[in-house]
Structure 1
């Protein structure tokens, strides 16, 4: 029984739900972290995005089952290795869709719209956008922006242009690191598994990673120095949290040059694996909450 449950958890990629924590960012930076109603709305939005993203993951695995069977890492996915049949996968998609509907019924219409748009956009991505040069990477960046917008609308706050910029280019940096990892693992077979990889090289992706990382870093620093931000939080000290952002970015880039977590495939999951990144993230979060709420 437990063995079957683990297969279904792998199918819906529970580990990837960590990406939906971007939904929580607006709660922290809107000064509403300790308002129960706002926290509940964010939690419902978080789980709605989890159901939506898992629905898309299952759809993707069904569509790419033949390619996944030949992939060194993806061949272990439940559908590709035969642990879960395609008919059962469709049943899981139906259950996820039902749960998604239940969750969004508790949200305002703006948040509902964003989540539905996110779902439709991802279906379109799987049907064709993922084959297009650069568009596929930018599409994933937009997905992270959808998450942040969902969090903003759930608690009725206007999305800051700073948080949109930082989120988008953070996602781009991570996806380019992922593409680099795929090229290094798959080598000459890369384009057989992802056609868009034929447009990339490790050297080109290094440039994209560095550009995205630079924009994230300067975007964050400029955000902390923005007079409006300083006035809103009543403190100029947010700037000092930049050190943790620098450390995090450097660590991601450092790991992209090694083989330590190469087989993980998704750099976002490094938050679950790499102790250094975990410590930096926790310290950054404590620093932010302390500077914003306990100044």
Structure 2
């Protein structure tokens, strides 16, 4: 007897009116992923220039524009991959694959956002920030089309996207970016991206067609090596910042810079627990869902703020 595997229903269902279409477009834009764009405050926070009306207004604008660009990429990506997603056990539930959002509508919405966001940035943001936003959009669209199928380059592109989020806040406010900030941010992002890929590879081992096709070309050993290397470099970069004495006034009640190393290392080690288990496939769920990690992150944030404020 031939055993037939049940396949997802590939028939598209028409969206239920304008409200259903708009809801589908919103879900396709991945609201859950917008939390990543909070990284735009990283550079101003590190420089102690976050709490002013000008800074908050400019950063709110940059957050919205980055979110619009990311949404444009998600819409175009889902429109391009609609046929493949319908054959996927999980991605078949996405609005475009499920037929709640017609492919032309996803393309149209993505194109509109992709044109509007850089245009607004050119008009309202400094030239450097507008250029970075445009570069992010172009890079992510190239990732959707071809770069996500290239070994190592896919990791680099996703990591660079996180770094761009962290950098654009500094560019928007004219804040110089230190080498330690760039090193820690870059390798911290690579740590989380590689841990995500490693978790996906572990969870879907032996399941043909259940995940990214490129994962089949990576070994779990290689991905483990990447996230471990990245975690080590991120910790080293942070330690070098914390222990650097040149130009640092000694007026703090306690050495908050040095003490914050403990919390930072604990946060990395705690996240590595999930990475090692292969359960770090959704970084935002790990960061927001683990109480211990949330407490460690809060303690680190307080120490970091006190260090920046030189309290």
Structure-1-length-normalised TM-score = 0.89
Q: Report the counterpart of residue 34 of structure 1 in structure 2.
A: 51
The one of 242, 247, 263 equivalent to 1:244 is 263
Instruction: Identify which range, 31-40 or 285-294, moves more after superposition.
Output: 285-294
Instruction: Identify which range, 71-80 or 187-196, moves more after superposition.
Output: 187-196
- Structure 1 residue 71: deviation in Å? 2.6
Listed as ranges, the gaps of 5+ residues in structure 2 are: 1-17
Listed as ranges, the gaps of 5+ residues in structure 1 are: none
TM-align CA RMSD = 2.4
Q: Trace 1:183-222 onto structure 2 (pairs within 5 A).
A: 183-189=201-207, 193-222=211-240
Between Structure 1 and Structure 2, how many residues are aligned? 291
SS at match of 1:187: coil
Instruction: Identify which range, 181-190 or 163-172, moves more after superposition.
Output: 181-190
- Structure 1 residue 117: deviation in Å? 0.7
The one of 4, 9, 15 equivalent to 2:32 is 15
- Structure 1 residue 103: deviation in Å? 5.0
CA–CA distance in structure 1, aligned partners of residues 147 and 25 of structure 2: 27
SS at match of 2:135: helix
With over 3 angstroms needed to count, the CA separation of the structure-2 counterparts of 1:123 and 1:171, relative to structure 1, is same
Q: Report the counterpart of residue 80 of structure 2 in structure 1.
A: 63
SS at match of 1:230: coil
- Structure 1 residue 19: deviation in Å? 1.4
Q: Does structure 2 conserve the Cα–Cα contact (< 8 Å) formed by 1:10 and 1:78?
A: yes
- Structure 1 residue 5: deviation in Å? 5.2
Q: Which runs of 4+ in 1 moved over 6 A?
A: none
Q: Does structure 2 conserve the Cα–Cα contact (< 8 Å) formed by 1:67 and 1:193?
A: no
SS at match of 1:158: coil
Structure-2-length-normalised TM-score = 0.85
